[in-house]
Amino acid sequence: MKFSTFVTAGALAAAAAATTPKGLDDFSWDVEGYAKDNPVGGKVVGGKGGPTVTVTDYPSLATALAGSEPRVVKVIGAIKPEARVIVGSNKSLIGCKNSGSIYDKGVTVANATNVIIQNLKINDVVGNDAITISNSTRVWIDHNELTSDNNHGPDHYDGLIDIIRGSDYVTVSWNYLHDHWKTSLVGNEPTFTHELGKYHVTYHHNFWQRLGTRGPAGRFGFHHIYNNYYEDFYYQAIHSRSDNQALIEGNVFRGDTGEAVSTHGLVVPEDSPNFCVCGDDEKDGFANLGYRNDWGSATVNITKVGTFTKAPYRYKLTPLKFVAELVKLGAGIGKVDIDVIE
Ligand SMILES: *[C@@H]1O[C@H](CO)[C@@H](O)[C@H](O)[C@H]1NC(C)=O
Ligand SMILES: *[C@@H]1O[C@H](CO)[C@@H](O)[C@H](O)[C@H]1NC(C)=O
Ligand SMILES: *[C@@H]1O[C@H](CO)[C@@H](O)[C@H](O)[C@H]1NC(C)=O
Ligand SMILES: *[C@@H]1O[C@H](CO)[C@@H](O)[C@H](O)[C@H]1NC(C)=O
């Protein structure tokens, strides 16, 4: 799959030309990480090879995403679905240009494999996640804008991207995640120890802005978190708990950001713990630091260093000094020309 770029390509090329950073000359929008390199079917291709269906309302959206036949489903305009949008296997769900959005009800990828969600705005999903990935593999969440507001406490909305029921081989890239509380949780049950060793998730080049907690928070898995830009992540960004292994490199933290990384098992009071207002205690997680991070004024609390020291695939690290500029330019909707996805 190849992307031609419009808005951002020019800007990125200009940034690259002005500063000639190494590694940007052959910059690619293609999938990187676990949704590309995995032992359960290989590179995610979504609906490639199937027909393209354009939808403007919920009934046609639901029909187009049902079943496991390959389909590319393009959303034009804003849709307020009557129920959660369920995505079957072998689908690409793509917002058109700057217009495709879904609000009030979110999107669930459940019991599925090979799904791409791209260039879509999903906002203000009350009492549930913007995107839930449940019991699914090979999922690529790329170039979306996911948001609500911070005025209603942690539990009025739920997550922006929650990955549950042992879902595996997921890449979350170039998303603009902003103005929300509980951002991205991987593994939502501390008692589900049978999930240990699943949840291979790559998070790269996401723009996390004005968020509360879970940037991401994970249990039981392997999370490769690189080249993300965090700005005003108020309470706690990366939380590796319940034996989770995180490899954290080349990320930049700015603004009013409290804690960049913690492996301490405590689910902090700001993160809606279930059993005590003082927080819930779980086992600690692990973290390894690869290529240098820029923590800004945020704190780091690594209690256990793990064994996940190297990602098992090839990927391109953006030099630290270009991360903020690049991610702000490239993350979110309207940045890749989805009409020329091959
Ligand atoms: C689509 O997904 C299913 C898994 O649900 C898989 O078995 C099938 O081979 C895939 N491809 C097509 C063309 O249906
Ligand atoms: C996924 O599978 C589980 C277990 O079989 C089932 O309870 C659930 O309804 C399924 N979800 C969807 C969206 O099909
Ligand atoms: C996962 O999906 C498979 C079928 O695709 C189903 O048999 C299994 O029960 C599901 N597991 C969960 C936890 O939903
Ligand atoms: C690490 O986190 C725990 C739980 O939030 C806290 O009690 C402890 O003081 C922290 N340690 C450091 C060095 O920040």
Exposed/middle/buried for residue 221 (C-beta within 10 Å: 0-12, 13-18, 19+)? buried
> Between the CA of residue 254 and those of 12, 14, 214, 231, 279, what are the distances in Å?
21, 24, 16, 5, 26
Catalytic residues, by residue number, are 214
Number of domains, the chain: 1
Query: What is the distance in A from the centroid of ligand 2 to the CA of 124?
Result: 24
The atom number, within ligand 4, closest to the CA of 264 reads 2
Task: State the residue range of the domain holding 180.
Answer: 4-337
pLDDT band at residue 335 using 50, 70 and 90 as cut-offs: confident
Specify the 3-state DSSP secondary structure of 140.
strand
pLDDT reading at 253 higher than 70: yes
pLDDT reading at 17 higher than 50: no
Ligand closest in space to the Cα of 67: 1
CA 239 to centroid of chain Cα atoms:
15
Q: From 262, 282, 297, give the residue whose CB has the most ligand 4 atoms within 8 Å, as the site to mutate.
A: 262
Q: What's the chain's average pLDDT?
A: 91
Query: What is the distance in A from the centroid of ligand 4 to the CA of 194?
Result: 28
Gap between the Cα atoms of 219 and 68, Å rounded: 29
Terminal Cα-to-Cα distance of the chain (whole angstroms): 5
Judge whether 342 lies within some domain: no
Cβ of 86 less than 6 Å from ligand 2: yes
pLDDT reading at 141 higher than 60: yes
Domain of 313: which CATH number? 2.160.20.10
Judge whether 10 lies within some domain: yes
In the Cβ-directed half-sphere of 183, how many Cα atoms lie within 13 Å?
30
Q: Judge contact between 129 and 160, C-beta under 8 A.
A: yes
pLDDT band at residue 27 using 50, 70 and 90 as cut-offs: low
Spell out the residues 6+ positions from residue 307 whose beta carbon is closer than 8 angstroms to its own.
245, 286, 288
∠ CA 316-129-231, nearest 5°, is 50
Q: Judge contact between 190 and 167, C-beta under 8 A.
A: no
Instruction: Report residue 89: phi and psi, to 5°.
Output: -65, 160
Q: Specify the pTM.
A: 0.93
Q: What is the rounded average pLDDT of the residues 23-36?
A: 76
Judge whether 158 lies within some domain: yes
Specify the 3-state DSSP secondary structure of 108.
strand
More confident position, 110 or 9: 110
| pLDDT given at position 129 | 98
